[in-house]
Amino acid sequence: MPERLARLETEVAGWDRYVPARPPAPDACFVPVIAVAPTPAGFDLTVGFTLMQGDQKLAGQGVRAALTPTRLPEGTGADDRAADLSAAYAAGNAEQKKRMAAALGNLALGIYRNTELVGQAPAMIQGVGSNPSMLTRIGQFKLAASLLGLQGKGLAGIATSMPKLFSAMKVKAPAAASTSEAEEIAL
């Protein structure tokens, strides 16, 4: 249709403001990226998204994690997980113990900060909704808030086990989770 109406360019002023005369804009869409690939040590898990407009990639983001097998079956209780972790910690050398303690501290920080973000999400969405220049992105903020909420629900089960894990590994919880920095773990 736009090609046919373009012939009227010399005869009709403003023809290009007529909606059917404009070429259709390609829709932008999110394409989820989920991949699980076997490795000698377990599995590589990749989760993310790609933002596409037509055939053009506009943006993308994701995270990759290595999944390793565990000796514990699904549904193992917190006491049994703590006992297994305690045994692994006791059998480890000083460097392994340091890494495990740092990982547990970082996990505690992450759970705390995720909980804070979930609490801040409604105010963030309200602020975006009152800013006309951000209205086009409100859907992205709502999606991010709902994903934070889902993540919070998933972490709630881990959070209840944290005191037993700290005790089993003889590790102190971060003093001020809101201001403590995560500890880098060199692998």
User: pLDDT tens across 42-52, in order?
Assistant: 778 788 878 88
Q: Which amino acid is residue 123, in one-letter code?
A: A
Q: Which amino acid is residue 155, in one-letter code?
A: L
Task: Work out how many domains the chain is built from and give that number.
Answer: 2
Cβ–Cβ < 8 Å for 183, 105 = yes
| Residue at which a domain ends, from 45, 68, 91 | 68
Instruction: Please tell me whether residues 109 and 82 are part of one structural domain.
Output: yes
Q: Does some domain include residue 148?
A: yes
Q: Does some domain include residue 141?
A: yes
Count the neighbouring beta carbons within 10 Å of the beta carbon of residue 107.
16
Give the closest residue to 141 by CA, choosing from 124, 153, 158: 124
Q: Does some domain include residue 7?
A: no
Two tokens, residue 101: 């303690």
CA–CA separation, 169 and 31 (whole Å): 41
User: pLDDT tens across 54-84, in order?
Assistant: 788 888 877 777 776 666 677 777 677 777 7
Instruction: Please tell me whether residues 63 and 86 are part of one structural domain.
Output: no
Instruction: Please tell me whether residues 115 and 41 are part of one structural domain.
Output: no
Instruction: Please tell me whether residues 119 and 44 are part of one structural domain.
Output: no
User: pLDDT tens across 77-129, in order?
Assistant: 767 777 777 788 888 888 888 888 888 888 888 888 777 777 777 887 777 77
CA–CA separation, 132 and 46 (whole Å): 35
Residues spanned by the domain of 146: 78-187
> For the whole model, what pTM was predicted?
0.48
Tell me the residue ranges of DSSP E strands in 40-111.
Answer: 42-53, 56-67
DSSP H or E segment with residue 146: helix 138-168
| CA–CA–CA angle 9, 10, 12 (5° rounding) | 65
Q: Does some domain include residue 97?
A: yes
Two tokens, residue 184: 């880098």
Instruction: Please tell me whether residues 34 and 85 are part of one structural domain.
Output: no
**pLDDT above 70 for 20:** no
